[in-house]
Chain A
């Protein structure tokens, strides 16, 4: 079912590196319509099912005007408010007939609308999606009601201390750039959303345009037939001309700290984040930091073994490397069992960072990470839906599956010195933000 990948994985990591084969194993077509809309079609052998993922390269990053955070995410909701041709009841009725699994999500750099269904309904799905992307229509009362559902979403998220920690981390670390706010947006802006109907129309007019949009179709399909349907339903969509001026984040000039007092009992959390680079598949930096997150903080790392397995002072430890359109953060998060151990855990994390800056890892360890990454990808691509989902995140960054291949080529070329240099360049004190969170009275 995944023949190319199978062959690829049969070779050793080093051989793979030399051969530089493509990690995305499927033949795909990538075409641009004259209006700027991009179509990526990936036929697979998984029978009967088709997944469409429509990626709009607009996320919380695009929310450039003060007081209007959370609008990209709000549209994830509003897009289900219907059109003249398909009012919500009719849209739901049609989706029901199709028996589709359908939803949407928003992140820093994208809003994504996905539907998974039986192949005979592809034409109907593409027609309905085209209609709402081009003719979304909602009146002010419905807008006001939907903005309350967003508040409801904030409310249900607010039970998790990790949501609050993330909010405070971004707010503390960034001064100008829109990554200062999370995708949900600031609570005060969410509460004010009902009053922002006119602004919402402007936001839609700016970003829901073909040049921001890529349609990914994966599954039991033929590329030519898909193109014909997309031409038919999406060909008339008008190109826009808005380009946001995303504020440039000034270089951070010193370590920052913040603390969250969580109102109910929870385990303390320590988060240490460093300003990192923007996603880049043309250099080794993105790959090097990703490898570093794995080498230094995954569950087979020395630090994890020490803190979680042997000493059992923390019950979780992990790191995320930056992978966003603009400069993101390298984030290390540990949940600690006792408040009195928070400083200890923080210091061990900092020591680990220092150690990776001072000494290159063994090549053998890096090879293990490389091997894992490739198998991880192979194991995750076991159905059309997940393949489309994985692609959508890369498409948000570079609008082509080819960026996956380029990034994995960088992994293949990576040396222990590259990882060391990335640690030394980016995980520095002046770019660091530490946020701690404790419940009442510290640990409970």
Chain B
């Protein structure tokens, strides 16, 4: 295998063992989250997408003993399934079943994970699905996710995070069954395994399960060394050009803050204040949508959050050693695109300069302290968060976050704002029709006057006078236009 970043470490050590996160209970349901701490960051350089395709093949294929149809026929009456989620450093297989069917379900789950079928017809179907997920579902049908992933690709270029989890179309076309078998053999090891289980199972069941999974190799073949992306020295933009009604923006830059780091809670509080996902309480939402009707919503993030347009809350088991600060501007009407981008920058700048007031700090802290209970309200989520806590080496998430929040002070949060919130050295991704026109528009200092369909309070009209000429500072050479067919090709 060629190496992605050029540096791999041997996953080693004789003491490496599978780990477990267990939550026994009286529920008649049993929930599984089986996580391998490997993912697309371990893709060989010439095979981006291999980790994802391998997981799809396992979760959506037959086993050594049963064809795909036989597995699906067996899962259907018990209304259960095996699903997979692949990110840079985690591959998660999840599922749930009723205790009545635990034995039957587990046999199928075990078959898929420990003795995959690797059949040619499953491979053709799964590979087609993976290619269409990029060509059709992402490039064709989801401008918002396309913009976000283009942003990540640009920020992480040249690192093990530097490609879409699903890979590229051209690489997927060349991946073979043997590639997948080799990846499975190298990466699906006990040293990288965390078995998560919750609900009405018995200790004997868990013991038998651990024994089964001990059949996996003890240690992984290779592990990527996760490195920080290059610092963004100067703002840049990538515009994805496609035939679409509106303009979607995502912007951000790398941060060194991840869960478990000292500034995590403070920065989470800041991003929640600025733009709690899918909530009307954030500043960006208020200023861009509520006050000006620019679009459907605007949010901020400090952790990877895919599929945000379909989800109200983040999914666990996307743990990463590298994160970015991100602002998501949902599609705007083309004539207001430049103004919307300027307004987002204006708000970031305002936050950087002014920080939070005591009342804003208190409100955001109180929200997060309670909202964490809502985030972990299902066993599925509780189990997922517990696995992430094991990955990050932190106490259980609820306890961890509440403790960290309770220690915060306004001064500390405002220090974090000064340190991490900025408007320069930003990477921006846009998805639009007529990309060259947008490029010219954004590279010009010309004002972007804004008109509304209703009178606005003086506060807004005064603010707009500053926003319409906010210096974006782009030159033509900072902006690259890419036809959509090239992206992730």
List residues of chain A with CB under 8 Å of any chain B CB.
Answer: 1-3, 5-6, 9-10, 46, 48-49, 80, 88-89, 92-93, 95-103, 116-118, 121, 140-149, 151-153, 155-156, 158-162, 194, 263-267, 298-300, 305, 308-310, 312, 315, 337, 368, 371-373, 375-376, 378-379, 382-386, 439, 444
Contacts and interface: CB of A to CB of B under 8 A. Distances in A.
Nearest to B141: A160
B227 interface: no
B369 A99 contact: yes
Given A160-B142, A385-B377, A9 B331 contact: no
Max chain A Cβ within 10 angstroms of own Cβ: one of B100, B142, B248, B313: B100
Given A92-B280, A152-B289, A264-B243, A382 B140 contact: no
Max chain B Cβ within 10 angstroms of own Cβ: one of A117, A149, A158, A385: A149
B293 A265 contact: no
Contact of A194 (B248, B331, B367, B453): B453
A93 B136 contact: no
B377 A116 contact: yes
29 contacts: A5-B28, A46-B377, A96-B363, A96-B367, A97-B366, A99-B366, A99-B374, A101-B312, A144-B453, A145-B292, A145-B454, A149-B293, A152-B246, A152-B295, A152-B297, A155-B331, A159-B143, A159-B245, A161-B140, A194-B453, A263-B243, A264-B242, A266-B141, A300-B69, A337-B128, A375-B77, A376-B79, A378-B79, A378-B98
B364 interface: yes
Interface in B234-248: 242-246, 248
A359 B162 CA distance: 55
A160 B78 CA distance: 32
B80 A155 contact: no
Interface in B1-50: 25-29, 31
Contact of A300 (B72, B280, B281, B313): B72
A308 B452 CA distance: 49
B349 interface: no
Given A96-B281, A152-B295, A158-B245, A312 B128 contact: yes
B485 interface: yes
A371 B77 contact: yes
Contacts of B142: 159-160
Contacts of B454: 140-145, 194
A50 B366 CA distance: 18
A385 B374 CA distance: 10
B296 A153 contact: yes
Interface in B327-368: 330-333, 363-364, 366-368
Contacts of A118: 370, 373-374
B370 A9 contact: no
A156 B121 CA distance: 36
Given A6-B100, A97-B367, 20 more contacts: A9-B28, A48-B373, A99-B369, A99-B372, A103-B312, A117-B374, A140-B454, A143-B454, A144-B293, A145-B291, A149-B289, A149-B293, A159-B244, A299-B76, A309-B69, A312-B121, A375-B78, A375-B79, A379-B98, A382-B31
B148 to A, nearest CB: 13
Across the A-B interface, give the 10 residue pairs with the lowest CB-CB distance, nearest first.
Answer: A99-B370, A148-B293, A144-B454, A141-B454, A375-B79, A152-B295, A145-B293, A376-B79, A152-B296, A155-B246
Chain A interface, >50% SS class: helix
B377 A383 contact: yes
A102 B99 CA distance: 32
A305 B373 CA distance: 42
A28 to B, nearest CB: 19
Given A9-B100, A385-B377, A148 B29 contact: no
B326 interface: no
Contacts of A116: 374, 377
Interface string B199-242: 00000000000000000000000000000000000000000001
Contacts of B242: 264
A379 B242 CA distance: 41
B411 to A, nearest CB: 21
B389 to A, nearest CB: 20
A212 to B, nearest CB: 24
Contact of B371 (A99, A142, A143, A384): A99
B125 A312 contact: yes
Contacts of A159: 141-144, 244-245, 331
B99 to A, nearest CB: 8
Contact of B330 (A145, A152, A160, A299): A152
A44 B481 CA distance: 54
Contacts of B476: none
A262 to B, nearest CB: 8
A156 B363 CA distance: 30
Given A101-B371, A155-B295, A379-B79, A141 B456 contact: yes
B140 A265 contact: yes
Contact of B69 (A5, A143, A305): A305
Max chain A Cβ within 10 angstroms of own Cβ: one of B98, B101, B143, B455: B98
B245 A155 contact: yes
A3 B27 CA distance: 9
Nearest to A88: B290
Interface in B137-174: 139-144
B249 to A, nearest CB: 12
Contact of B97 (A147, A162, A379): A379
A368 B76 contact: yes
B124 interface: yes
Contacts of B280: 80, 88, 92
B296 A444 contact: no
A149 B121 CA distance: 46
A309 B374 contact: no
B129 interface: yes
A381 to B, nearest CB: 9
B484 A147 contact: no
